[in-house]
Amino acid sequence: MIVTQSNKTLSLVLTAAGLAGVILGFNTAVFGGSATLALVAWFLAATAVVGLSFLLLRVYGAVRDLALSLQDSKSPLDAVRVSAEVGAVWDAIRRRIREGTDKMERLNQQNQDLALQILLLRKQKQNAQAIIYGIRDAVLVVDSGHCLVIANQAAEALFGFQFDPSQLHPAAELVRNPDLLALMDKSRQNRIRHVRHELTVERSPEPTVFDCILSCVTDEKDQLTGIVAVLHDITREKEVSRMKNDFVSHVSHELKTPLASINAYAEMLVDGEAKDPQTLQQFCSVIQTQAQRLNRLIEDILNISRIESGLVKINKQPISLSMVIHDAVEMIRSFAQEKNITVHTPPSIIFDQVYADKDMMTQVVINLLSNAVKYTPKQGEVTVACEVNDSDQVVRVQVTDTGVGIPPEDLPRLFEKFYRVEANKKMAKGTGLGLNLVKQMVEKVHQGKVFVRSTPGQGSTFGFEMPMDALAAAAATVS
């Protein structure tokens, strides 16, 4: 018979080889693999095709031999025998054709299912990669052999390397940070599921602080397969936390000083130490002065808080900055005369109107003038200038003194809350809130801009720019 047991066995073996080739090729395409695995998959599939073709040729040869024997048969018995063999062969062929067709349909369906699964897995892989590469935090993944298998762009920028997913490199070759590598080794040894560390990475111009989360990845047999490290930049949060602590410390100190004076003089009044009206007036004057200082501090803190939260009440209207400067100078003149400081005021400008809150602008100018007088030695000078820039449509106010000046390294931080120049702290007392309040009122409330220039030993210039009022600008253009 044509369809022998060996032929059946051979056909099954070849079909299994073809399926093995397809499955191996699928795994190589989806999960990645070497060129050797791809070659083996190709060889198995090719062997199956060639072997099945060989079997078909054998069937074709057998049919041809039977046809020839039928043609050459002489006796009726031979014809009957040949006819019976042809019928058996034909039945076997039809059965094999049906079986082959069914197998081909199943293989075709499996191939379509595998192709669909490959597309879905590739899409999922692309989505996962897009998510990882789109994360702003640095992400690093190492396998059980401590080779780097995943690194997003944030990690590349942080540690200064170019990641190539087609080549495996030890993490120590790419990540030049001994602290992070040591933490990953420790996490691998201890096999802690999730652990958090604070990591400092030296960068230019300043070190960066990261919240580093290390996670161990295990398989279904609880075998360690890799370590995932996610580094979140918390430098700003640390700075904010430090500023909050400084804020509480400064506020506590500034509140404590006037309260201590008020308490001390109040106790002396209660004890009857003010024997005459002059002493009584002196004690009450000290209490009043410290109470006013305490009130100013609280008002500054509340004003800054209201401005930052957007809850401040603003009454904007067209005002003349020259008039605001004139009123502020009159308020500060007595303070300047105590130190024999001459204050030069600018001439009146017709079209210097801005659309602003008058009380806020007055406080801004008073704060700048007060600082100028504080940090200018006796017999010094303070000059206030106001000018209109028609081309930029802004009004610029400058307060220049002949004081001690400010070191260059302190200039970038002058407008921070509670920041005071260490070299000038002995010159005058203060809370460090005045300039921050000026910045908040000018820039956040009125969309202006503050600036400062200073030379140590020669003096400083503080100022601000405000957009001109539209009507005043139009009038200035017409005139």
pLDDT in tens, 199-210: 888 877 788 899
Nearest to 467 by CA among 307, 306, 318, 304: 318
Q: Are residues 128 and 159 located together in one domain of the fold?
A: no
Nearest to 386 by CA among 332, 445, 337, 325: 325
Q: Are residues 444 and 380 located together in one domain of the fold?
A: yes
Range of the domain at 153: 136-233
Give the pLDDT score at 15: 57
Q: pLDDT of 26-54, one tens digit each?
A: 555 544 555 565 555 556 555 655 565 66
Q: What is the C-alpha to C-alpha distance for residues 384 and 369, in angstroms, rounded to an integer?
A: 8
Nearest to 142 by CA among 210, 41, 262, 224: 224
Task: Quote the distance between the C-alpha of residue 466 and its chain's center.
Answer: 33
- Of the ranges 51-60, 166-175, 327-336, the best mean pLDDT one: 327-336
Q: Are residues 104 and 141 located together in one domain of the fold?
A: no
Mean pLDDT over each residue of the chain, to the nearest integer: 79
Q: What is the C-alpha to C-alpha distance for residues 200 and 45, in angstroms, rounded to an integer?
A: 54
Last-in-domain residue among 132, 157, 185: 132
Q: Are residues 151 and 16 located together in one domain of the fold?
A: no
| Rounded mean pLDDT, 362-391 | 90
Q: Are residues 54 and 161 located together in one domain of the fold?
A: no
Q: Are residues 466 and 342 located together in one domain of the fold?
A: yes
- Tokens describing residue 385: 């200038």
Q: What is the C-alpha to C-alpha distance for residues 284 and 422, in angstroms, rounded to an integer?
A: 33
- Of the ranges 117-126, 133-142, 325-334, 340-349, the best mean pLDDT one: 325-334
Last-in-domain residue among 257, 276, 309: 309
Q: What is the C-alpha to C-alpha distance for residues 353 and 468, in angstroms, rounded to an integer?
A: 6
| Rounded mean pLDDT, 453-477 | 77
Return the amino acid letter for 293: R
Crossing angle (nearest 10°) for helices 5-31 and 76-134: 10
Q: Are residues 247 and 216 located together in one domain of the fold?
A: no
Residues of the chain above pLDDT 70, percent: 78
Question: What b-and-e string marks burial along 25-45, b requiring 16 or more CB atoms within 10 Å of the CB?
Answer: bbebbbeeeeeeeeebbeebb
Return the amino acid letter for 431: T
Per the CB < 8 A criterion, the answer to whether 281 and 455 are in contact is no
3-class SS of residue 479: coil
Q: Are residues 185 and 217 located together in one domain of the fold?
A: yes
Q: Are residues 211 and 244 located together in one domain of the fold?
A: no
Give the pLDDT score at 21: 56
Give the pLDDT score at 37: 55
Whole-model pTM: value is 0.49
Q: Are residues 367 and 460 located together in one domain of the fold?
A: yes
Question: How many domains are contained in the chain?
Answer: 4
pLDDT band, very low/low/confident/very high, at 105 (cuts 50, 70, 90): confident
Query: Hey, which residues does 213 pair with through a beta bridge?
Result: 196, 230
Q: Are residues 166 and 294 located together in one domain of the fold?
A: no
C-alpha torsion 36→39→44→45, nearest 10: 150
Q: What is the C-alpha to C-alpha distance for residues 95 and 73, in angstroms, rounded to an integer?
A: 27
Q: Are residues 24 and 79 located together in one domain of the fold?
A: yes
CATH, residue 263: 1.10.287.130
Question: What b-and-e string marks burial along 312-326, b requiring 16 or more CB atoms within 10 Å of the CB?
Answer: beeeeeebbbbbbbb
Backbone angles phi, psi at 350, to 5 degrees: -70, -50
CATH, residue 176: 3.30.450.20
Q: What is the C-alpha to C-alpha distance for residues 479 and 256, in angstroms, rounded to an integer?
A: 56
Q: pLDDT of 417-450, one tens digit each?
A: 778 887 777 777 767 788 888 999 999 999 999 9
Query: Hey, which residues does 430 pair with through a beta bridge?
Result: none
CA angle 12, 17, 18 (to 5 degrees): 100
Neighbouring CB atoms inside 10 A of 459's CB total 22
pLDDT band, very low/low/confident/very high, at 472 (cuts 50, 70, 90): very low
Q: What is the C-alpha to C-alpha distance for residues 214 and 228, in angstroms, rounded to an integer?
A: 6
Q: pLDDT of 73-83, one tens digit each?
A: 545 555 556 56
Asked whether residue 153 carries a pLDDT value surpassing 90, the answer given is no
| Rounded mean pLDDT, 313-331 | 89
Helix (H) or strand (E) holding 321: helix 321-338
CATH, residue 384: 3.30.565.10
Last-in-domain residue among 218, 233, 248: 233
pLDDT band, very low/low/confident/very high, at 268 (cuts 50, 70, 90): confident
